[in-house]
Structure 1
Amino acid sequence: MKVIVMGVTSTGKSLTGAMLAEALGGRFVDGDDLHPEANRAKMARGTPLTDADRWPWLDAIGAEMARAEGPVVVACSALKAAYRRRIEAAAGAVAFVHLHGPKAVIAARMAAREGHFMPVSLLDSQLETLEMPGPDECARTFDLREPPEVIVRQAAAWVRTVG
C-alpha cells in the first residue's frame, strides 16, 4: 500500500500523513526531507521551483516508496498530474489523498507556521501550478477544514478499498 498525501503548502500533509501511516500500520516519510538543499534554498528566497527543480525530488520520492516494505505514506505536494505520474513510474500504483480548501484558510495557516522554509509569498504560485486530480487518477480530495482525525478516518477507509 503506497499513499501520497498531496496538496499545496500548509494543507496539513505532514500531520495527516503521519496519522494516516499510523492508522494503516505503515511508515511515514515527509517529502520535504527529500528535497535537495538547492530546492530548499530557492524556496526560502521566495523563488518558485521549476519542473527541472522538481524532477530529481519526485524521483527520490518514487524511489523511497519503491523500496518500502509494507505500507508507506509520503507527504508530497504532487501538484501536477505529470508529477504524480512520475512518482508512480518509480513507485508503482499509488493512492493520492488530496487535501484542499480555501486560499484564505491556507494563507492563515502559513502565516502562523514558524521556522518553515516556504514563505507565504509562494502560495499563489502553488495554487496556479495545482492540477486537481482527474477521474483517471487513483485520488480522492478531502476538505482540509475537517479535523485531522476525521480526514484520516475517511482516508484510511478509502485507501483500504483501493489499495
Structure 2
Amino acid sequence: MNSIVIMGVAGCGKSSVGARVAQAMAWPLVEGDDHHSEANRHKMQSGIALTDADRQGWLATLATQISLQPQGVVVTCSALKRSYRERLRQASPGLRFAFLQISQTEAQARVTARAAQHFFNTALVDNQFATLESPEGEAGVLTLDATRSLDALQADICTWLLRAKELA
C-alpha cells in the first residue's frame, strides 16, 4: 500500500485535505507542522524563512514516521524542493505526493485569514513560492487545484490511491 504526502505552499490546504484523506483511507495522519522543532517554529513566527539545514531534522523525523507505517500513512508536508521529496521517498518505495497548487494571491489570503490560529508568519508566503520546485512531471505526483472543494480533492486523491493499489 502506498503512503502519500499532501504537499504545497503554506495556505494550500494540506492539513484540511490530509485529515479527510486519512479518514477516508483509514490511515494515520502525520501533521508535518507538529514535528517542527521549537527553534524552527520560532523562526517562522518571527518571519524568518527556514533554510535547508533547518529542515533536515524535520524531514528526517517525517521520513521516520513514514517508515513506521508500512500499511499506509498520510503526511502533510510542504515538500517544496525536489531534494526534500527525495528524502521522504527514501522512507517508502512508491511514496506518492498530492500537490495542492494555488496562486500566490490565494495563498496569501488564506494564510492571512488563519494568522491568529497558526504560527506561520504571513510575510513568509513569498518565500514559499520562491523556494517551490514544482513536482509536476515527477513520478507518483498528482497535481490538483487547491481551490476546489475539500470533498472533491479528497475524492480525487483517494480514487488515485485506490487505482494505484489495484495496479500494484
**Which moves more between the two structures, 120-129 or 109-118?**
109-118
Alpha-carbon separation, structure 1, partners of 2:138 and 2:23: 28
> After TM superposition, where is structure 1 displaced by more than 6 Å over at least 4 residues in a row?
none
Question: What corresponds to 1:101 in structure 2?
Answer: 102
Question: What corresponds to 2:139 in structure 1?
Answer: 137
Deviation at 1:159, TM superposition (A): 1.6
Question: What corresponds to 1:56 in structure 2?
Answer: 57
The one-character-per-residue Cα deviations of 1:9-67 (angstroms, maximum 9, x if unpaired) are 01110010010011111111101111111110111110000000011101100100100
**Which moves more between the two structures, 67-76 or 32-41?**
67-76
1:91 partner SS: coil
2:91 partner SS: helix
Aligned partners of 1:63 and 1:91 also within 8 Å: no
Aligned partners of 1:81 and 1:131 also within 8 Å: yes
Segments of structure 1 that go 5 or more residues without pairing to the other structure are none
Q: Counterpart amino acid of 2:105?
A: A
Alpha-carbon separation, structure 2, partners of 1:136 and 1:44: 32
> Number of paired residues?
163
Alignment of 1:69-108 (within 5 A): 69-108=70-109
Alpha-carbon separation, structure 2, partners of 1:9 and 1:46: 13
Alpha-carbon separation, structure 1, partners of 2:39 and 2:92: 24
Segments of structure 2 that go 5 or more residues without pairing to the other structure are none
Q: Counterpart amino acid of 1:140?
A: L
Question: What corresponds to 1:38 in structure 2?
Answer: 39
Q: Counterpart amino acid of 1:37?
A: E
Deviation at 1:93, TM superposition (A): 2.4
Q: TM-score, normalised by structure 2?
A: 0.93
Q: TM-score, normalised by structure 1?
A: 0.96
Q: Structure 1 residue aligned with 2:152, among 150, 153, 162?
A: 150
Q: Counterpart amino acid of 1:72?
A: V
Between the two proteins, what is the percent identity of the paired residues? 37
Aligned partners of 1:66 and 1:92 also within 8 Å: no
